[in-house]
Chain A
Amino acid sequence: MRLKVGEEVDRVRFEVERGKVREFARAIQDPDPRWTDEEAARAEGLAGVPAPLTFVVVAGHHRDQRGAMEKLGVDIARIVVGEVGWAYHRPALVGDVLDGRRVVTGVRVREGKDGTMTMIDMETVWRDGAGEPVVTQTETLIERGEG
């Protein structure tokens, strides 16, 4: 592990695009009209078409995942995602431009029968154009032992 708690892993910015929201909803096999239909969204009291709860994973298109793992100093071939969470400040809507800084929030090392296992906690606060938080994403990556 190269980075320390509090250090930035990466930072990306992307727009919540209407077509991308539709594509994502289809990929998670969710036929709910609120992801595509302005009227269904407004009937729910929303100002526009919302994105599904886990939509910010599309940041994968904008991140340099290999570069991020190199910066963390972990072996990408031994990395698995253990946990992911999202705390919602408000629904993300089509047209929002989200800016997220991914920061290391914890590093735990455990010795097991397969060698050293490292658990890395990271947090990304996704902020809108006004700098207000929309969703806070937390993730725990596990680097499995070499054994």
Chain B
Amino acid sequence: MSGGAPLEVGPITVTDIVRFAGAGGDFNPLHHDEAAARAAGFPGLIAMGQMQAGMLARVLTDGFPLAEIRDYRVRFVAPVRVGDRLTLAIEEDEVEESAGIATHHLRLTATRDDDVVAVRGKAIVERRLGT
């Protein structure tokens, strides 16, 4: 697998952010209190990185059995704001084969509709060969 078609999510609403706050337990006012977000220097409410990280994981779990996913990590490089649309994409960097196991190194990105990358991710998947 070298990555399926990119997924589109959004436009992100305040409701989406509040729903994730409730699901994940992140009640930092930056994510639900517009005045607090502005006071911190943001133009408005911003989503918690963990929301985008969770959304981005879907392009990985859509493509591989859960038990083969060894590692997933993300770097938050730009905020996601209310109204942003995100394109979630995955591509394969390389595959190493050794001792009957193929190790896939994958690169993931969540990109805003103004072409700014919001999240960069990496993943490692290990598949047993010949099964």
Q: Chain A: interface residue count, which band? A: 35 or more
Which B13-30 residues have C-beta < 8 A from chain A? Answer: 16, 19-20, 22-26, 28
**Chain B contact residue count (CB 8 A cutoff):** 33
> Which residue of A has the minimal Cβ distance to B54?
A28
Query: Which residues of B sit under 8 angstroms from A30, Cβ to Cβ?
Result: 54-55, 57-58, 61
B73 in complex: contacting residue of A27, A57, A84, CB < 8 Å = A84
The minimal Cβ–Cβ distance linking A36 to chain B, given in whole angstroms, is: 14
Chain A residues whose C-beta falls within 8 Å of the C-beta of B71 in the assembled complex:
85-88
With known contacts A44-B66, A88-B71, A24–B54 Cβ distance under 8 A: yes
Q: Is B70 an interface residue (CB 8 A)?
A: yes
Looking at the complex, which one of B26, B70, B75 makes contact with A88 (CB distance below 8 Å)? B70
Which residues of B lie under 8 Å from residue A20 when comparing CB positions? 23
Shortest A46–chain B CB gap in Å is 7
User: Which of B40, B66, B67 gathers the greatest number of chain A CB atoms within 10 Å?
Assistant: B66
Is the pair A34, B72 in contact by a Cβ cutoff of 8 Å? no
